[in-house]
């Protein structure tokens, strides 16, 4: 029997997964991400963890089809990493380096892109082959999947939906250095920022005023209780997202959008204003695009990483 | 020797092309588009014209690899046309219908997408495989080519760049029924509209005031002579285009943008403000995207249509 392994590398932990050839998740575990010395131990740590696991399970290395990686940075179409600030990496040829460490074939993609691939394969996008995933977390991540494959982009910036320019009058900087990116409004942090501005601007009573620190969860909870200002913040943030999605449809016209990340737990509270704005801004031909929630949670990355391996073997 | 044929169907004429298997344009000619009776004669007319041509040149039908079509309407990924208002067509399975008429294999794409494919193959995008073409004519057409193939989109709306939402305060309707689409500002008509608004709003002297009817050419000519208001109109229109292109890069991150259509004849007068705005709005990873002029003019469509045939044979 053949297997494949996955490593979804985050800034603090690496999620590891062990899959059957058919794509069933057989086991998963985590190891810490050691970012010391420009992250030079990250790949060796993963190789050791996988080696120990396979020895323990008495699985021969020859039964491993390959290892897929999700990387929190830009990955070029050839799979090489082009700068990964979170890990301290510069240019890293993962396939070459990991083969030297482990003997396994390795394939890499950007983490948001790989999560999108996982959701299309086994999650909210099951049954579709053209999909765009948008992850609403600390930032806004994105991944474009066409004909079942990641659109990595010529400079590794495919699916950087969070950096679509949305507002010309923004005064604060986005993490990327620009001003007015979607991420500044539609991420968890963005929603908090939008709510904070509304609180400052108006004198209206709001449940949010009782919080020492307003979090995205607080905004969603208060909106669910009917708090007007919290509702307005969500409508503002998610309308911008719906509008950005209309732009995305005018480029790649996916069958489905998959909304994931921590914020997406609020479900219809977010989906309703997203759908309303999308319908208003989208080109008529794309009005029927599905907008669905992600289903795999934190496992999307390891699923997608293993799909990279299986896609490569198929090609 | 083998050959392929192309038909780029427009609202008034059909451009026909005869190509060698290697993709050299050997001959081209035009026939009128007969849109009577819901365009039922369009395909038969093309079949007859091709048949007559091949007989005259004494070329056997067995030497024809296939026929590619550019269609002025939505074309689904399977190549079937889903409504083409200009021709009066509803749903048309071109491959099936044209095979019945001619015996040839047929492949179809949306005209803007097919022109993009042509430019990538033999024009301004030569040597690239990920490119986005933007055609500035009466409207703003677009075509996305990834890995050398058209992104048709799930609903035939891939590359509908002209309908990216740009302005929330627009009061007039776009041809598509929405308000504030890129096409309303960055097409030839859009540029005229923008100039007209500036003329109305300001009392400043302008060469444009001497025209009975202001055309896009007049705006460009006056801008070239240093007319302040004409320059301002171009800067406004092309900045919006550059900003929209930054959004496109955050989705598919092409290696190159190819700017074509009648307006593009003004070259650097347009490219300079496009590049300036693109640089300001684009995600840093994509700053090096090339922005080039189209090279094939009206022949882009027949080149791309034939490339559809060659791509299909390769697959």
Separation between Cα atoms, residue B186 and residue B138, nearest integer Å: 10
Write out pLDDT tens, residues B12-53. 999 999 999 999 999 999 999 999 999 999 999 999 999 999
**What is residue B189's predicted lDDT score, i.e. its pLDDT?**
95
The answer to whether residue A274 scores a pLDDT higher than 80 is: yes
Helix, strand, or coil (residue A49): helix
Task: Name chain A contacts of B244, Cβ cutoff 8 Å.
Answer: 247
What band does A74 get if pLDDT is binned at 50, 70 and 90? confident
Residue B53's Cα: distance from chain center in Å?
A: 27
Q: Which residues of B183-217 are buried (b: 16+ CB within 10 A; e: fewer)?
A: bbbbbbbbbbbbbeebbeeeeeebbbeeeeebebe
Lowest mean pLDDT among A171-175, A210-214, B61-65, B82-86: B82-86
What band does A192 get if pLDDT is binned at 50, 70 and 90? very high
Sheet architecture: strand order including A256-260: A149-150, A140-146, A131-136, A256-260, A290-293
Task: Name chain B contacts of A146, Cβ cutoff 8 Å.
Answer: 146, 151
The answer to whether residue A315 scores a pLDDT higher than 80 is: no
Write out pLDDT tens, residues A15-37. 999 999 999 999 999 999 999 99
Q: Is the pTM for the entire model greater than 0.90?
A: yes
Helix, strand, or coil (residue A282): coil
Write out pLDDT tens, residues B158-216. 999 999 999 999 999 999 999 999 999 999 999 999 999 999 999 999 999 999 999 99
Task: Name chain B contacts of A144, Cβ cutoff 8 Å.
Answer: 251-252
CB-facing half-sphere around the CA of B44: CA atoms within 13 A: 7
Q: Token pair of B298, please?
A: 């009206």
The answer to whether residue A76 scores a pLDDT higher than 90 is: no
What band does B77 get if pLDDT is binned at 50, 70 and 90? confident
**What is residue B79's predicted lDDT score, i.e. its pLDDT?**
82
**Averaged over B248-263, what is the pLDDT?**
97
Of A142, A161, A250, the CB nearest to B160: A250
Residue of B nearest to A133 (CA): B251
What band does B272 get if pLDDT is binned at 50, 70 and 90? very high
Separation between Cα atoms, residue B245 and residue B76, nearest integer Å: 24
Whole-number average pLDDT of chain B:
95
B133: closest CA of chain A, how far (Å) = 11
The reply to whether ipTM tops 0.90 is yes
- Among B248, B143, B170, residue whose Cα is nearest residue A164: B248
Say whether B154 and A130 touch across the interface (CB within 8 A).
yes
By CB neighbour count within 10 A (0-12 exposed, 13-18 middle, 19+ buried), where does A162 fall?
buried
Relative orientation angle of helices B216-224 and B268-281, to the nearest 10 degrees: 90
Say whether A177 and B247 touch across the interface (CB within 8 A).
no
**What is residue B142's predicted lDDT score, i.e. its pLDDT?**
96
B163 in contact with chain A, both atoms CB, cutoff 8 A: yes
The answer to whether residue A273 scores a pLDDT higher than 80 is: yes
Best A140, A239, A251 residue to mutate vs chain B (most B CBs within 10 Å): A251
Q: Token pair of A25, please?
A: 């998740």
* Ranges of H-type helices in A123-265: 183-186, 188-201, 216-224, 228-252
Contact A150, B251 (CB under 8 A): no
């Amino acid at each position: 029997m053949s297997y494949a392994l996955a490593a979804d590398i985050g800034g603090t932990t690496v999620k590891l997964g062990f899959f059957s050839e058919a794509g069933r998740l057989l086991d998963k575990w985590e190891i810490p991400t050691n970012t010391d010395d420009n992250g030079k131990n990250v790949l060796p740590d993963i190789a050791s963890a996988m080696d120990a696991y396979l020895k323990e399970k008495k699985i021969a290395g020859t039964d491993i089809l390959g290892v897929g990686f999700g990387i929190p940075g830009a990955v070029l179409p050839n799979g090489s990493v082009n700068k990964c600030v979170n890990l301290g990496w510069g240019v890293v040829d993962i396939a070459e380096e990991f083969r030297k460490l482990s003997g396994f074939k390795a394939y890499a993609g950007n983490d948001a892109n790989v999560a999108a691939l996982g959701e299309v394969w086994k999650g909210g996008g099951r049954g579709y082959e053209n999909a765009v995933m948008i992850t609403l977390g600390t930032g806004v991540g994105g991944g474009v999947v066409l004909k079942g494959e990641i659109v990595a982009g010529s400079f590794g910036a495919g699916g950087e939906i969070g950096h679509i320019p949305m507002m010309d009058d923004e005064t604060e900087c986005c993490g990327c250095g620009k001003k007015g990116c979607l991420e500044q409004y539609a991420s968890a942090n963005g929603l908090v920022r939008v709510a904070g501005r509304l609180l400052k601007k108006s004198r209206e009573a709001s449940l949010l005023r009782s919080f020492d620190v307003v979090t995205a969860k607080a905004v969603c909870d208060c909106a669910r209780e009917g708090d007007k200002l919290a509702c307005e913040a969500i409508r503002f943030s998610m309308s911008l997202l719906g509008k950005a999605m209309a732009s995305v449809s005018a480029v790649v016209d996916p069958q489905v959008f998959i909304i994931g990340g921590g914020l997406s737990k609020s479900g219809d509270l977010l989906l309703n204003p997203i759908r309303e704005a999308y319908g208003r801004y989208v080109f008529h031909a794309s009005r029927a695009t599905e907008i669905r929630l992600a289903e795999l949670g934190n496992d999307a990355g390891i699923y997608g990483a293993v799909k990279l391996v299986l896609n490569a073997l198929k090609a």
